[in-house]
Amino acid sequence: MTGLPGVSRPETFFFQASDMFTLSCSSIRADRLASAVVLALALMTCGEKTLAEPPPVPDVLKLLPRETPKPRYGVPVPKRISGRVARKSDGGSAGMANVSVTDGYSVVKTDRQGRFSIVPDPNAVFLYLTRPSGHDVVGDWYKPLSAEVDFVVQPAEADENDFTFIHVTDTHVSRNRRSLVGLSRFVREANALSPAPRFVVNSGDLLDLNKALLSKPASGHADFRNYVGIMNHLKMPHYNVAGDHTDSSYRLEQFPRGDHRCGKALYWEYLGPHFFSFEYGKIHFVSVDFGYHLGQRKIRVNGKNLDYPTNRVQPIHVKWLRQDMGHRSRGTFVVTAAEADLENHCPDFLAMARQHDVRMQLVGDIHVLAHKKRSVPYRAGGALAGCWWNPRTNQLCPDLMPQGYLVYRVRGEKIEQFYKGLGQRVAIVSHRVGAAWQGQVEIRAHLVQPQKGERLEYSINGEDWLKMREASRPFYRAMFAATVDTTSVPDGLLNLKVR
């Protein structure tokens, strides 16, 4: 038997305001069910030992501003920029070879003494480097343009052959309090994970600015201050993909429509370059922004033709992307981060992927949890904001997954992940909602960051609770399982609960 009509992937329906969640469906096949069908799932705290809860804290973190390098508007771009990348160690410092340095338009490598020389593009605003694996940047990784620019790196303390990181997307931060509460809660959860994730990648729609650049500059400043002010509480670095909801009318006179830099100035001032890369372990991560305000795409909204971004990487940045991937460190493979599948938004992406070993894409935008096995597979990370436009959904995503984020573990070249609902420690991972039960059925659920003595139990009638056995300990979780003999339960609908 197939699942319920109209019900697809979700296993859980999460209400942020409560420890209980349920999922129900309004339609079901009219024929008599030959086996039990899962219609609803519910989560409750444990009976004998309540799952640990954090102490009460203010809903929204106090904004933590930090000074960042700014473009030098109006200052002529140097004809040539020279500098050095020094490697700091206990024995002093020496130049570091083979580090990529870029102005966002071309990429050069440092020589054996760590020196470089680059002819910057007239449109450049920053000079920056690609973090080399096994090293951390001391100070700023991007700097305003000048004739001499130097950088310092030092050996990283932690092993990079086995690490975790977080992929979050669609935070849609604005002055709406719900968005600030959600982002603050995410930061607290990320900081509480043990061992600590090494970094966070946000793959787009950081803010909720108007795509047609109708939001006033003051609104853009306020939203960026909220976003970076909360994210700065993270105990690990965060890397951010620029996109259509982060583009602003700020400095529109200086960078008008038709200029490929249009809409980007506010992002530069708060977060830096909008095309960049960094390396960690055996992965070369690259951030790609495919939104350009070229005045070529009109969409009629409320009787008005509005200028919307052209969602296609332009030749000047396709060239940069080829160079960046081509200069990656030997032995690394590529993972891209963008708002959506670059196969649809970047010319010659598949050819680049084959040439430069692009193995995966981190994407967002669609607000659902999805994995597509394309030529270059992509994984959409749900949405931290859920259905932000409809508060009655209690921040659920359109596929009924809870608002949340993906947590990844990388061991060498092996990558694995799980989805973490915001504020949720328990999740049923099988069977899916609407799946038919026949014969012996194994149900599984995980508990994130299990504490001593915590365990899970389940009920299919809401009254009798049975213990689940611990099956494994994947990263950050304990996986529990139980076998249900469906011949012992009546035909019809079941309400499965795990606590």
Which residues does residue 163 pair with via DSSP β-bridges, in sequence order?
Answer: 410
Burial profile 76-99: b = 16 or more Cβ within 10 angstroms, e = fewer: eebeebebbbbbbeeeeeebbeeb
Distance CA 450, CA 473 (A): 10
User: How much is the pTM?
Assistant: 0.89
pLDDT for residue 322 = 98
Strands 291-301 and 304-311: antiparallel
Q: Where are the domains of the chain?
A: 1-51+425-499, 81-153, 157-421
Distances (CA, A) of 233 to 83, 183, 201, 227, 239: 32, 11, 15, 11, 14
Strands 92-95 and 126-129: unpaired
Distance CA 374, CA 108 (A): 32
What number of other Cβ atoms are within 10 A of residue 328's Cβ? 22
Same fold, 1-51+425-499 and 81-153: yes
Distance CA 207, CA 245 (A): 6
pLDDT for residue 11 = 33
Nearest to 23 by CA among 9, 51, 42: 42
Say which residue the tokens 């056995």 belong to.
469
DSSP-derived 3-state class of residue 307: strand
pLDDT for residue 491 = 84
Distance CA 334, CA 286 (A): 7
Q: Which CATH superfamily is domain 157-421 in?
A: Metallo-dependent phosphatases (3.60.21.10)
CATH level 3 topology of 81-153: Immunoglobulin-like (2.60.40)
- Predicted confidence pLDDT, tens digits, the chain (499 residues): 323 222 223 233 332 322 333 333 222 222 223 333 343 343 333 333 334 555 566 799 999 999 999 999 999 999 999 999 999 987 788 999 999 999 999 999 999 999 999 999 999 999 999 999 999 999 999 999 999 999 999 999 999 999 999 999 999 999 989 999 999 999 999 999 999 999 999 999 999 999 999 999 999 999 999 999 999 999 999 999 998 999 999 999 999 999 999 999 999 999 999 999 999 999 999 999 999 999 999 999 999 999 999 999 999 999 999 999 999 999 999 999 999 999 999 999 999 999 999 999 999 999 999 999 989 999 999 999 998 878 788 779 999 899 999 999 999 999 999 999 999 999 999 887 777 888 999 999 999 999 999 999 999 988 899 999 999 999 999 999 999 998 888 888 888 899 9
Q: For the chain, report the end-to-end CA distance as a whole number of angstroms.
A: 28
CATH number, domain 1-51+425-499, options 3.90.1690, 1.10.1060, 1.10.287, 2.60.40: 2.60.40
pLDDT for residue 43 = 37
* Cα dihedral across residues 186, 191, 197, 202: positive or negative: positive
Task: State how far Cα 99 lies from the chain centre.
Answer: 26
Are the C-beta atoms of 282 and 413 separated by less than 8 Å?
Answer: yes
DSSP-derived 3-state class of residue 493: strand
Distance CA 479, CA 447 (A): 7
Q: What strand order describes the sheet that includes 493-498? A: 37-43, 493-498, 457-459, 466-467
